[in-house]
Structure 1
Amino acid sequence: MARINLLPWRDELREKRKKEFIAVCIAAALIGVMAVALAWFYYAHKLEDQEQANQLITSTNQNLDVQLKSLEGLENQRNAIIERMKLIQGLQGQRPIAVRLIDEMARVTPSSLYITKFIRVGDKFTIEGKAESPNTVAEFLRNLEASAWYRNAFMNSFLAVEEKKDKTPTSVVPRVEESYGSFVITADLDQIAQPNDSNTLQNPATSTAEAAQ
């Protein structure tokens, strides 16, 4: 029987397997490095995109802050304009009221009474003048109370003229007004005359008639 030496063949097979193993290891290492590199590039790109998005959000927030500050300034300007318009409307609403107050005062004043001073502070009036007698002032007070523009009329004082003891004959005929006494009256502005709404400009007589209905 012939003897066959298998050692060389086994050595060659071992070397071949060894080389194949080394090649597989190198290929796996290369594949791992490539996978790690690809993963690093992928996440680096994602991180760059996220940083750009964060920067965009930051710049947008800054722009919004600037716009909000400008809006606050516009809001303050708007409020100032509204307050100015309200003031102008209030003055325009009070202008015809002052005319009607004077007209009503002339209407309710008796013939034997005249006014020397008419002062208004807010809704309070102080009326000074001269009258023939306290009865004339009382009539004036009743007229004020009956008016749609005045209320709470009250006579603070009435000072009669003292008669002169020395009646020297003279050719000068004294005026009737010289014998009138001085009076001071206070009154308030009636609710119907206060400029609270559009009804303040209507005729007080019409408003009184509507209230009576």
Structure 2
Amino acid sequence: MTIEINLLPWREEQRARRSKRFYVALGLAAVLGLGGGYGMTWHYEQSTSAQQQRNSLIQTQSRQLDSAIREISELEAIREQMLEQVRIFTELQVGRTQTVHVMRDLTASLVDGVHYVQLNRQGAALRLAGSAENNRQVSDQLRALAAAATFTEPVLSEVEAEGGGERRRFSLGMNQQMPQAGLEGDEESPLVEEES
């Protein structure tokens, strides 16, 4: 006796199961692929968004720094203007008593027998013309002016006899020395107060 086994329905069922598993696996792969694609897209969008926020923050900070730099530049320009004004005020404050110093030192250094005839001042340069009874008095006058703190070393430009006698007419040039700001002694302060 021969047993005949019909495997056709079993194979059909197996093929249906395999087909079902294949479609399930295909569906799972599609779901995983779509999910992975969506996840990657979301990740890149989040990364792009975060980078854009960082870029925006950097641009904002850069604009603030540019504004601060402009403000600092303006403040430095104002500072330079103020320093220039302070320098000018200091020069004026120091220089306002210079005429008094010049006259004081001219009279204090005047040697007996010497008379000043003319005084010209142009900036710090002084030109002085005078007359003396003899050459020795002219030399003494030059030494006295050189010893004064207000003047530089005087330079004698001419000496000539006046009226055929021993009397001498002379002219000389020198520069006025400006004292350094803040270095004037306490003796100068009464002059400043008197002029105010």
**TM-score bin, normalised by smaller chain:** 0.7 to 0.9
Please name the residue that 1:199 is paired with: 183
Give distance in 1, aligned partners of 2:44 and 2:14.
44
Tell me if the contact between 2:94 and 2:179 (Cα under 8 Å) persists in the aligned partners: yes
Helix, strand or coil for the counterpart of 2:97? helix
Give distance in 1, aligned partners of 2:116 and 2:76.
49
Please name the residue that 1:142 is paired with: 143
For residues 20-73 of structure 1, give each alpha carbon's deviation from its aligned partner in whole angstroms, at most 9, with x where no partner exists: 111111111111111111110121121022112212212321232232123212
Change (3 A) 1:100 1:111: same
- Answering whether residue 147 of structure 2 is matched by residue 152 of structure 1, we say no
TM-score, normalised via structure 1 length: 0.73
Please name the residue that 1:93 is paired with: 94
Q: What are the within-5 Å matches in structure 2 for residues 70-149 of structure 1?
A: 70-149=71-150
Q: What are the within-5 Å matches in structure 2 for residues 158-173 of structure 1?
A: 158-162=159-163
Please name the residue that 2:34 is paired with: 33
Change (3 A) 1:154 1:16: closer
Tell me if the contact between 2:91 and 2:181 (Cα under 8 Å) persists in the aligned partners: no
Tell me if the contact between 1:97 and 1:201 (Cα under 8 Å) persists in the aligned partners: no
Helix, strand or coil for the counterpart of 2:12? helix
Give distance in 2, aligned partners of 1:64 and 1:144.
60
Please name the residue that 2:68 is paired with: 67
* Aligned residue-pair number: 186
Over aligned residue pairs, what C-alpha RMSD do you find? 2.8
Paired-residue identity, %:
25
Change (3 A) 1:115 1:144: same
Unaligned runs of 5+ in 1: 164-178, 204-213
Tell me if the contact between 2:94 and 2:181 (Cα under 8 Å) persists in the aligned partners: no
Tell me if the contact between 2:111 and 2:137 (Cα under 8 Å) persists in the aligned partners: yes
TM-score, normalised via structure 2 length: 0.78
Unaligned runs of 5+ in 2: 188-196
